[in-house]
Amino acid sequence: LPVGAMWERSGLFYWGAYATLRAEGVDLLRYLQDHQSPDLGLLSACGRSIRAMHEAGIYHADLQVKNILVSGGDALIIDFDRARLTPVTPALASRNLARLRRSFLKRGLNTAHVEAIEAAYRGEVLLCPIMARKVLDHFGGGAVTPQTAKLPYEELSQRERI
């Protein structure tokens, strides 16, 4: 994790350095390869981390499955060497998420996993069919469909959130 940076310009060139802390965990690619049914809460944490990065005004030019570090239910974005500080417009955000999706496709990963990340990025919560049934029963019933298995995060109580 970055904790400090400095640079100095000398004519047309510059040199710099940054200090980091070591973060424990595995990259998302390794995690997904090791877990056929990954934790939906962890995938949601990935989406929320990407959203937080964009809201902080950071565009990650190399957002891909290997640049997300997961550990203990948390997700950290890593490898900011090509990132830039800029207001992240909807177009830039879409470009970032499309790059992440391409990295899933390139490695033959289940696209449902990247869809869960994208849903969490948008502030939706994807529910497993059993949880979706419980939530729908709580709100008066209905059929479990792809639309009813997504709810805005804010509509769930703290206890029901992933």
| Cβ-contact 153, 116 below 8 angstroms | no
The CA-CA-CA angle for residues 73, 77, 80, to 5°, reads: 165
- 79 part of the active site: no
The CB-based long-range contact list for 85-88 (8 Å cut-off, 24+ gap) reads 85/57, 85/58, 85/59, 86/57, 86/59, 87/57, 88/54, 88/55, 88/57, 88/58, 88/59
| Cβ–Cβ < 8 Å for 71, 22 | no
Cβ-contact 95, 50 below 8 angstroms = no
Taking the C-alpha atoms of residue 29 and residue 65, their distance in angstroms, rounded to an integer, is: 5
Structure tokens at 13: 């060139």
Q: Which of 27, 62, 74, 79 is catalytic?
A: 62
Positions annotated as catalytic residues are 62
